[in-house]
Amino acid sequence: MNAPILVLCYLVAAAHLFACISYQERARILTKPLLLPALLVLYLVSVSNPSPLVCTAIFLSFLGDVMLMIKGTGWFIAGASAFLLSWTTYTVEMVRTSMRWPAAWLIPIIFGTYYALGILAFLSLRKKMGKTIIPGSIYFLVLSTMGAFSATYLSGTLAWTALMMTIGAILIMISDYLLAYSIFDRRFKQQDFWIMLTYIAGEFLIVYSFIY
């Protein structure tokens, strides 16, 4: 992995998180669009044969970041759609290139657990989701599917890359739930910091799993 670019990624992430925790709105807005491009550069210089799907997933997450910065229901749905496609692309690439399957009896347990968590998360917010309830339900389904596939991958191999993917997916699930909670239910203290901390760590770990 390219050390200077890795340090750059950490510096951009640290600057953004500091802007979040210190309520520096202008700095937060300026640094957020830099997170995923820096991660994309890190990926490109760290692998000999970059995957178009991984690059596409990172770019879609970048689009999601930018769209969610713009106020309005339409932009929110567009941003969520970009992230939905990003999580789907990551999952397809993981299954295509890395998947190791565990014992057959374990698979429905893993998927059932993740779908149950997704349903509980959705039900806790659905009464306040309004017009976004249908795309919201699809989003939670895709998010749960990514988490389930990553946990299945981990159960089948116990490899370091699988662990990074699984933890990354869980952090993304936490981040997205916190974001949805702050939008549809109520705001909470330092919400931008906690949402972005889990999101950045999740994205970095998922991309790292494709590098190692």
Q: What is the token pair recorded at 55? A: 């690059």
Domain extents for the chain? Answer: 3-211
Read off the amino acid at residue 109: I
Residues with Cβ < 8 Å from 160, sequence gap 6 or more?
A: 212
Return d(Cα 27, Cα 177) in angstroms, integer.
24
Question: What's the pLDDT score for residue 23?
Answer: 92
* Burial degree of 55 (CB within 10 A; 0-12, 13-18, 19+): middle
* Contact status, residue 44 vs residue 209, Cβ threshold 8 Å: no
Question: Given the structure tokens 């760590």, which residue do they identify?
Answer: 201
pLDDT for the residue numbered 59: 97
CA atoms within 13 A on the CB side of 51: 17
Is the dihedral angle over the CA atoms 65, 67, 69, 75 positive or is it negative? negative
State the amino acid at position 153 in one-letter form. Answer: Y
Q: Which segments of the chain have a pLDDT < 50? A: none
- Could you give the 3-state DSSP secondary structure of residue 54? helix
pLDDT (0 to 100) of residue 100:
85
Query: How far apart are alpha carbons 200 and 206 in whole angstroms?
Result: 10
3-state class (DSSP) for residue 48: coil
pLDDT of residue 20: 96
Q: Which tokens sit at 106? A: 């374990």
